[in-house]
């Protein structure tokens, strides 16, 4: 398909670009019970692939693919498949995170042109989208104040945090999501991957407190440590987790029976899936509340 590349703004043959990297969608499918995907905004339909559109030219798609491969091989698969909790990265990591934040920001704005916010917020989002694009293309050398933060997630076995929904482990370990989070003090680009949250800064009053999650420009490590979550972040995650739970309950009785029949016919596949494993983490923590 011919068109204008969203990143470099040059005309050429456009490739189908995934907003969340394709390898993550493949992993979700492979490790699910049924081998299908369901999007949170269209829970009734099973899908073979995650969202994609003709966005990028071949050259820009190649840039993204290289950074994705590094993240997949060095961080994502060791964490989700081998239960690793530590990983080193080099200068490809801020590029990967920035590419994710740019995609999320550009996608959300294209689908929701009437985003809530002041005129100043719109200007800040315009500036962030432009700076991230230039950084990815090598025109800007540094991220400057558009820092990228990564929060590795593990299963929760116990907590003193009240009010956690009984599907919180499934949200942490399995869900993909994109959003822009804003209030009067902060604007963040939020991308949820299985076992990771990538948070891109547009405006933040808490940057100094969040240094432990900040991705370094040249090299660094992801490992267990004390992470500072922005004010209101836990409430936001609880809200989104509860939304998914409510949508899951809206699945038709017919689809529910199909799911049960599949499990009965394929008990080993179901029991060995990462989807079932995440469910068990919730069950061990919340008991029969997971069924409500």
Q: Which of 262, 188, 275 is nearest to 232 (CA)?
A: 188
5 pLDDT band (50/70/90 cuts)? very high
Residue 241 near residue 40, CB atoms below 8 Å: no
Q: Cβ of 10: how many Cβ atoms within 10 Å?
A: 10
Could you give the C-alpha distances from 54 to 18, 26, 93, 107, in angstroms and in order?
9, 19, 25, 12
Q: Which of 275, 267, 257 is nearest to 35 (CA)?
A: 275
Q: Which residues of 80-99 are buried (b: 16+ CB within 10 A; e: fewer)?
A: beeeeeebebeebbbbbbbb
**What pLDDT is recorded for position 41?**
53
Residue 210 near residue 230, CB atoms below 8 Å: yes
Q: Where are the alpha helices (DSSP H) in 112-151?
A: 119-136
Q: Where are the alpha helices (DSSP H) in 137-206?
A: 168-174
Whole-number Å distance between alpha carbons of 257 and 253: 6
Which range, 15-19, 46-50, 70-74, 256-260, is most confident? 70-74
258 pLDDT band (50/70/90 cuts)? low
Helix (H) or strand (E) holding 52: strand 52-57
Q: Which of 152, 141, 158 is nearest to 226 (CA)?
A: 152
Whole-number Å distance between alpha carbons of 230 and 207: 9
Find tokens 């369901």 and name the residue.
Answer: 38
Pairing of strands 52-57, 220-222: unpaired
Pairing of strands 2-4, 177-182: unpaired
What is the Cα Rg of the chain in Å?
Answer: 19
Torsion angle defined by CA atoms of residues 194, 35, 102 and 9, in that order, rounded to the nearest 10 degrees: 160
pLDDT at 49 over 90: no
3-state secondary structure of 16: strand
**What pLDDT is recorded for position 103?**
97
Reported as a single tens digit per residue, the pLDDT across 147-185 is 999 999 999 988 777 789 999 999 999 999 999 999 888
Q: In the predicted model, what is the mean pLDDT of residues 24-32?
A: 93
Domain spans of the chain, in order of start: 83-291
Find tokens 């005129």 and name the residue.
Answer: 119
Q: Which residues are CB-contacts of 54 (< 8 A; sequence separation ≥ 6)?
A: 1, 3, 14, 15, 16, 17
Whole-number Å distance between alpha carbons of 210 and 73: 26
pTM: 0.92
Residue 23 near residue 76, CB atoms below 8 Å: yes
43 pLDDT band (50/70/90 cuts)? very low
Tokens (6 digits) for 27: 């992993």
Residue 59 near residue 66, CB atoms below 8 Å: no
């Amino acid at each position: 398909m011919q068109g204008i590349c969203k990143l470099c703004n040059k005309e050429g043959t456009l490739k189908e670009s995934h907003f969340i990297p394709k390898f993550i969608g493949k992993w979700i499918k492979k490790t699910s019970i049924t081998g299908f995907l369901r999007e949170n905004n269209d829970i009734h339909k099973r899908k073979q692939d995650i969202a994609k559109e003709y966005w990028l030219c071949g050259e820009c798609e190649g840039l993204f693919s290289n950074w994705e491969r590094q993240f997949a091989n060095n961080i994502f698969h060791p964490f989700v498949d081998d239960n690793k909790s530590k990983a080193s990265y080099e200068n490809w990591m801020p590029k990967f995170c920035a590419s994710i934040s740019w995609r999320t920001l550009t996608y959300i704005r294209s689908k929701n042109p009437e985003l809530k916010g002041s005129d100043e917020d719109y200007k800040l989002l315009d500036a962030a989208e432009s700076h991230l694009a230039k950084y990815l293309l090598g025109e800007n050398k540094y991220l400057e104040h558009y820092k990228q933060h990564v929060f590795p997630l593990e299963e929760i076995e116990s907590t003193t945090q009240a009010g956690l929904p009984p599907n919180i482990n499934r949200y942490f370990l399995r869900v993909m999501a994109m959003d822009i989070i804003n209030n009067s003090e902060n604007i963040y680009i939020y991308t949820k991957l299985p076992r990771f949250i990538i948070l891109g800064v547009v405006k933040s009053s808490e940057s100094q407190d969040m240094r432990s999650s900040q991705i370094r420009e040249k090299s660094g490590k992801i490992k267990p440590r004390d992470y500072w979550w922005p004010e209101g972040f836990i409430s936001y995650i609880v809200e989104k987790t509860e939304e998914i739970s409510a949508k899951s309950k809206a699945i038709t009785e017919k689809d529910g029976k199909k799911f049960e029949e599949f499990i009965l016919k394929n008990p080993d596949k179901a029991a060995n899936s990462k989807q079932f494993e995440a469910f068990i983490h919730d069950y061990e923590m919340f008991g029969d509340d997971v069924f409500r």
